[in-house]
Structure 1
Amino acid sequence: MRTEHPFMRQSSLDISPEELRELSSRVNELVLEYFSEVSDLPVFPETFGGDTLAQVGTTMPAEGVSVERLINDCRTIIKNSRHNGHPRFFGYVASPSTPAGAFADLIASALNSNVTSWRSGPAATEIERTVVRWLGSLIGYGEDVRGLLTSGGSMANMTALLIAQRAKAGREASRKGLWRSEAPMTIYASEQVHMSIPKAADVLGFGRDQVRLIGCDDQFRMNVGLLRERIAADLQSGLKPFCIVASAGTTNTGAVDPLSEVADVAEEFALWLHVDGAYGAPAALDESKRPLFVGLARADSVSLDPHKWLYAPLDCGCLLFRDEAQARVAFGDEDADYIKVLEQDADESFAFWNYGPELSRRFRALKIWLTLRYYGVRRIAAAITEDNVLAAYLAELVEQEEDFELLSQPQLSICCFRYVPPAMRLRLDTDAQENEAIGSELNKLNERIMYAIQRGGRAYLSSATVHGKFALRACITNFRTTRADIEQTLEIIRDAAIGI
């Protein structure tokens, strides 16, 4: 029972020191157990729709349940989850959380700061502003940058597009709307751009059709010649180009656009340059990949996701930008009475609501700050470098095997390939007239293989379409993955093919 304080209200949700220690001990034990066993769990559980609720129940309790019951139900939730921390989880772009990051999230949740401004969270605001500078330095964008943490890359990209529009069109649109614009405003990105860019254009009112998708070269990088031609053509047609979005690590293949050349075009036409580095920007920590990111420092804004490749827990995205004043133009300076800032000191008057759409904001920075301080930059960089090395190793194995075909050479840590049974490969090599039909068969076969692997629990791959071919896609952003896991994954694919 809780210890009664003489002034404690009857409805207090505080609990006694003994109850607090029990709850803390049981939860801590569960988390430690998970970290020690995650590599041995099925990547994807043996479950079905409705299974979890059938076990934990759906009735909202009128009275509290025991800690024993809660922990058992949490065990069920863990058992029925997909485990991104498993060393053979290669689907999408989702790194495992470090233990340091997970415990930092517990501290942040206990503190429960609402990081709207320095006034609301003095320590949290100072930590976040420091982390933003650290992130800028880590990726080669520079330490003298501004920015804020977001829920992820989608929100960071959308915020960047709004800032870009206001920077190029002025703040009148914030009052009168885009319908008063003299001409439709256009955005330019490669055909490999992340879905969040057209989605943001839709949400912000530009329209998806105003995102001009530019063709790519044979390495899936934006064709700068085509970019320049399309901008010139749109200007000739009376449109108003305002932003180029370059990719620093595409979702499909990990391609990095020629950033310096794209920056030249942005300067030539006086356009805002935003670099979507949500996945790939942290790869700048790998010295062997650093040449790919030449030109990144010339961008007006950059997005990156620490929860994608700095091994931080969700959710944790970031938007970096250079011109603080332009960001403030996008989000106005008219404050409601209840958030009016009276502090005069520059640090104490700082408010994140002047730079992004969110007002309520959790203390996201602590998990990045604690992770970087616990491990140090060199250790994080080594993990990212090893991820890239393992993707190259997978590509090397694929090229050596007769029953696999490499579909894109990894630029970062994504490898796209497909399974090709020897008999079908022979048909491809000898019957050119049937290649289209055989290609369709291979697409269907690899789609079924991917599904079998995902539900089989031994590994997890996603998919991409590469030159019209259905590809098995392995994205390696996992500090637990080893060469043995890469080798085993190819055997798992073969096993899945045999079972189809």
Structure 2
Amino acid sequence: MSPIPETVLPTSSQLDKARSSLVKTLPREGLGEQTALDHIRNDICPALNNSSKSPNYYGFVTGGTTPAAAFADNLVTEFDQNAQVHLPNETITTDVEDRALSLLCELLDLEPADWKHKIFTTGATASNILGLACGRQYIIEEAARRNDSNCILFKASVAQSGLMQAMRYAEVDDIRILTTVPHSSLAKAASILGLGRDAVKLFGRKDKSHKFDMTLLEYELSKHKIASIVAISCGDVNTGFYATTGAEMSKIRKLCNQYGAWLHVDGAFGLMARILNSDPSSSTSILDGVANIELADSITGDGHKLLNVPYDCGFFFSRHPGIGLEVFQNQGAAYLCTSPVDDNAIISPLNIGLENSRRFRALPVYANLLIYGEEGYRKMLWEQMELAQRIAEFISNHEGYEVLPKGNHPDNVFIVVLFKAKDETLNDVLVTRINETSKIYVSGTVWDGEKACRFAVSNWQADAEKDIKIIGDVLERVHADFLVNSLRGS
């Protein structure tokens, strides 16, 4: 295992050297393998950040790749498998993917048999596209079933007839995505799928608790000739707060059944808390935030955040394999016809996902699940949570900083800590000052119209006892330097 790097960012001189070394035009004749590799190793690599290698990189919820996952990913490149077609007599690739996804369901306290449409994706953005695409198909078909016309259901298929034709046949005037504090990828998915960013409607309560206003939600779902997808943020990436409680999730499920809506859960940030279900000492608010998530029609997650595998890995689960096949069936290529012959057969991933060409992402996930198991991942998450809560406690007790939202207790923190400097002058440059130390890295964000900083603890190497000292020293130094400079300025 490589030693933990002392800094998280390259120096300005390393960046300048790397940029100036970049080849400006395509060589007429190749440079040769040794020259090219030396250039990459000696010029390019030193200018890359240590977002995955360092546990002190707390930006973008990057996570970090475990040694086992890195080893498995190297094998993925070495063997370069066809990971989109189920070829049981030629390779075990799709069997590994299917088994890895089933084990992942078990880790997340989901019954594998309930989620027959399951697949690895490039990340949570692609997974959200899958969720909205399936939801779009379902709600139009459901509207066609429920209206009084003699609509032919086949014509009300978005996958077959297109969105406008299908809506016309189903007598649907509009499609809405009802949510609170959604990740930006939800609006991107809506844009790609022809629903439009404006289709994303926020129905949060006025108290900024991230919870749904249930009265408004039911009113919206009941509207005539409007089909809806309800999207649950299972952990807001900015604050870590959850959009539902277990009781609210049950009520939303009943409303979706009543009005023919699709219930989608974006669990790319907070879903991992489900592994804490068997631990009675876990925070009640966190456990309640992931309670009854299994009632959803579809669930998405991010492997790099939750499982500490290479960045390019997300996953998607759905209860409706028929909908998935209808939307993503790969047609028109006779050499790729691999339809399942029975309900127990593995469905070729190209028929239930976006890509026809894809990496064997399952192998690093499979490796980590075997190595850590349920208990290993639980211990990993506890260490991350302890560090995040100790960061929140340090900030709460510091004269120069405050935790956001105001009044948020450290015990309610999952693995994200949002905060700001009390002095607005320091707050304007706080992210820059912290990251300039290169000891830790935080993300800049906004809360309630003000600049803010965010710690996102998600690296498998997190060490609460060691890392809180580094973080505390940096925050103390930044605040002290500001006070000294302020006195000099005055």
Q: TM bucket by the smaller chain?
A: 0.7 to 0.9
Q: Which residue of 2 aligns with 1:285?
A: 275
Q: Which residue of 1 aligns with 2:214?
A: 225
* Alignment gaps of 5+ in structure 1: 1-31, 422-441
What TM-score results when the alignment is normalised by the length of structure 2? 0.83
Q: Which residue of 1 aligns with 2:429?
A: 448
Q: Which residue of 2 aligns with 1:382?
A: 379
Residue 115 (structure 1) aligned with residue 83 (structure 2): yes
One-letter code aligned to 1:247:
S
Q: Which residue of 2 aligns with 1:488?
A: 470
Of residues 451, 454, 461 in structure 1, which corresponds to 2:442?
Answer: 461
Task: Report SS of the residue matched to 2:110.
Answer: coil
1:300 deviates by: 0.8
* 1: CA distance, partners of 2:207 / 2:189: 27
1:71 deviates by: 4.0
Of residues 61, 77, 86 in structure 2, which corresponds to 1:93?
Answer: 61
Of residues 244, 249, 253 in structure 2, which corresponds to 1:258?
Answer: 244
* 2: CA distance, partners of 1:491 / 1:160: 43
1:207 deviates by: 1.3
Q: Which residue of 2 aligns with 1:316?
A: 313
RMSD of aligned C-alpha atoms? 2.5
- Contact residue 186 and residue 239 of structure 1 kept, 8 A: no
One-letter code aligned to 2:18:
T
* Alignment gaps of 5+ in structure 2: 142-155, 486-490
1:465 deviates by: 2.0
Cα 1:68–1:220, aligned 2, differ >3 Å: closer, same or farther? farther
1:65 deviates by: 2.7
* 2: CA distance, partners of 1:291 / 1:495: 38
Task: Report SS of the residue matched to 1:246.
Answer: strand
Cα 1:493–1:300, aligned 2, differ >3 Å: closer, same or farther? same
Q: Which residue of 1 aligns with 2:34?
A: 67
What TM-score results when the alignment is normalised by the length of structure 1? 0.82
Task: Report SS of the residue matched to 1:318.
Answer: strand
One-letter code aligned to 1:187:
I
Please give the residue correspondences for 1:32-43 in structure 2 after superposition, counting only pairs within 5 Å.
Answer: 35-36=2-3, 38-43=4-9
- Contact residue 101 and residue 370 of structure 1 kept, 8 A: yes
1:225 deviates by: 2.2
* 2: CA distance, partners of 1:420 / 1:293: 33
Q: Deviations over 1:342-401 (max 9, x none)?
A: 885766673112211211111000000011112333112211111111111111111111
Q: Deviations over 1:263-287 (max 9, x none)?
A: 4224223311111001211122233
One-letter code aligned to 1:489:
I
1:420 deviates by: 2.1
Of residues 204, 222, 228 in structure 2, which corresponds to 1:242?
Answer: 228
Q: Which residue of 2 aligns with 1:329?
A: 326
- More displaced stretch, 251-260 vs 263-272: 263-272
Q: Which residue of 2 aligns with 1:193?
A: 182
1:42 deviates by: 3.8
Q: Which residue of 1 aligns with 2:298?
A: 301
* 2: CA distance, partners of 1:165 / 1:259: 25
* 2: CA distance, partners of 1:50 / 1:316: 31
Residue 151 (structure 1) aligned with residue 132 (structure 2): no
Task: Report SS of the residue matched to 1:376.
Answer: helix
Of residues 195, 199, 218 in structure 2, which corresponds to 1:206?
Answer: 195
One-letter code aligned to 1:160:
G
* 2: CA distance, partners of 1:106 / 1:290: 36
Task: Report SS of the residue matched to 1:458.
Answer: coil
1:101 deviates by: 0.4
Q: Which residue of 1 aligns with 2:421?
A: 419
One-letter code aligned to 1:205:
G
1:151 deviates by: 0.2
- More displaced stretch, 159-168 vs 174-183: 174-183
Residue 165 (structure 1) aligned with residue 136 (structure 2): yes
Task: Report SS of the residue matched to 2:187.
Answer: helix
* 2: CA distance, partners of 1:342 / 1:157: 25
- More displaced stretch, 312-321 vs 345-354: 345-354
- More displaced stretch, 341-350 vs 376-385: 341-350
- Contact residue 265 and residue 293 of structure 2 kept, 8 A: yes
- Contact residue 188 and residue 227 of structure 1 kept, 8 A: no
1:335 deviates by: 4.1
Task: Report SS of the residue matched to 1:40.
Answer: coil
Residue 275 (structure 1) aligned with residue 265 (structure 2): yes
Of residues 129, 134, 139 in structure 1, which corresponds to 2:103?
Answer: 134
Identity of aligned residues (%): 24
* 1: CA distance, partners of 2:364 / 2:330: 30
Q: Which residue of 2 aligns with 1:124?
A: 93
- More displaced stretch, 86-95 vs 155-164: 86-95
* 2: CA distance, partners of 1:342 / 1:270: 29
Task: Report SS of the residue matched to 2:323.
Answer: helix
Task: Report SS of the residue matched to 2:5.
Answer: helix
- More displaced stretch, 455-464 vs 262-271: 262-271
- Contact residue 263 and residue 296 of structure 2 kept, 8 A: yes
Task: Report SS of the residue matched to 2:230.
Answer: strand
- Contact residue 152 and residue 316 of structure 1 kept, 8 A: yes
One-letter code aligned to 1:151:
T
Q: Which residue of 2 aligns with 1:428?
A: none
Task: Report SS of the residue matched to 1:473.
Answer: strand
* 1: CA distance, partners of 2:273 / 2:9: 25
* 1: CA distance, partners of 2:249 / 2:392: 28
* 1: CA distance, partners of 2:87 / 2:209: 46
* 2: CA distance, partners of 1:52 / 1:315: 24
1:55 deviates by: 2.7
1:333 deviates by: 6.5
- Contact residue 276 and residue 302 of structure 1 kept, 8 A: yes
Please give the residue correspondences for 1:470-481 in structure 2 after superposition, counting only pairs within 5 Å.
Answer: 470-481=451-462
Task: Report SS of the residue matched to 2:419.
Answer: strand
1:492 deviates by: 1.6
